Amino acid sequence: MVGVTKRLPRFFIASVARRYVAGKDIESAVNVMRKLSSEGACFTIDVLGEDILNLDETQSLMDEYDRVLDAIVDNNLDANMSIKPTAFGLLIDEEKAYENIERLLRNAAENDIFVRLDMEDHRVTQPTIDIVLAMHAKGLRNVGTVLQSRLLRTADDIDTICDQLGGAADFRICKGVYLEHESISLTEYSTIVSAMNAHIDQILDRSAYAGVASHDWPVIKHTLSALEARGMGPDNPDPRDGCAENRNGKGLGYEFQMLLGVRGNIRRRLAKEGHRTRIYVPYGERWYEYSMRRLDENPDVAMHIVKSIFMPWTNRR
């Protein structure tokens, strides 16, 4: 499936990608977000770019993120930002990557905007967590990471981060798109779903913020019951002891997150019930490389896309 998909002409890939990528520039992304605001959604904006070859490339990315910040403020968007640490130089020069990320966080903090560090493959799991802890230690609390439930280490990572950050810990929890080796990762769908549900419970019980990133009904259903069991929900101020107060642009201790173009019907239903729903909005010149890399990392993505084209009822925009 991946092989066939990758041999499709670029114009065809472009027409499919249009559903999942907001365009080449921030103006296109703003237009997409304006339209989707009417569906009760908020956003996280991601500039496509990762696996850079030299540090010069980080500068144009930093400039682009400055434009994103301006666009959020100028257009009064209910949005925060997602970044990939490797695109800021993490695998080339760690010190420089820290400097770049700190600069971005300080600019974002001036406007009370949150920044999420996306989680990439296992080579950068610990370095990414370390960045979040180091930035909090510098007083920059507008940052949180993503953890991947397929990784065997994740329950320990939740505890370590919560031990250090208390109620200021803020997670996006997802299954993890990178297919890692079985020595460090679960590989079966059912065990990954069970692990993700357990991680959601753990995050909620540690009074941390839970960004539940999944389009999978068993995970969403579990989250809804877990919230109800803890007295959390659309109309309830977060009742957990030690939770952070005044999280600008956040929900009542939790939110649901979905990718642009995926399972809009479930997202709209959650929003209608009053839950905070966030759409991940990627944009950028490098949409083609991004799409191809997602296929390489996880062949299921090709399957989802083919299903969306030929069985559109399985994935409503």
Binding site for ligand FDA (CB under 6 A): 118-119, 146, 148, 174-178, 213-216, 219, 257-259, 262-263, 280, 300-301, 304-305, 308, 314-315
Decide whether 98 or 280 has the Cβ nearer to ligand FDA: 280
Q: Which residues contact 13 (CB under 8 A, 6 or more apart)?
A: 5, 288, 291
Distance between CA atoms of residues 111 and 290, nearest Å: 29
Decide whether 113 or 260 has the Cβ nearer to ligand FDA: 260
Distance between CA atoms of residues 305 and 153, nearest Å: 30
| Least CB distance to ligand FDA at residue 231 (A) | 25
Identify the sign of the CA torsion 293, 179, 119, 172: positive
What are the counts of helices (DSSP H) followed by strands (DSSP E) for the chain?
Answer: 12, 8
Decide whether 70 or 303 has the Cβ nearer to ligand FDA: 303
Distance between CA atoms of residues 20 and 111, nearest Å: 28
Decide whether 201 or 240 has the Cβ nearer to ligand FDA: 201
Q: Which two tokens stand for residue 237?
A: 């101020």
Q: Which residue has the tokens 């990939």?
A: 84
49, 57 contact by CB (below 8 A): yes
Decide whether 16 or 240 has the Cβ nearer to ligand FDA: 16
Q: Which residues contact 273 (CB under 8 A, 6 or more apart)?
A: 234
| Least CB distance to ligand FDA at residue 309 (A) | 10
| Least CB distance to ligand FDA at residue 214 (A) | 3
| Least CB distance to ligand FDA at residue 48 (A) | 13
Three-state DSSP at 190 gives helix
| Least CB distance to ligand FDA at residue 177 (A) | 4
| Least CB distance to ligand FDA at residue 116 (A) | 8
Decide whether 47 or 146 has the Cβ nearer to ligand FDA: 146
Distance between CA atoms of residues 186 and 164, nearest Å: 26
Three-state DSSP at 131 gives helix
| Least CB distance to ligand FDA at residue 242 (A) | 26
Decide whether 54 or 183 has the Cβ nearer to ligand FDA: 183
Q: Residue type at 225?
A: S
Q: Which residues contact 75 (CB under 8 A, 6 or more apart)?
A: 30, 34
| Least CB distance to ligand FDA at residue 176 (A) | 4
Decide whether 119 or 271 has the Cβ nearer to ligand FDA: 119
Rounded alpha-carbon distances, angstroms, from residue 207 to 115, 133, 202, 216: 20, 17, 9, 24
CA angle 193, 199, 205 (to 5 degrees): 140
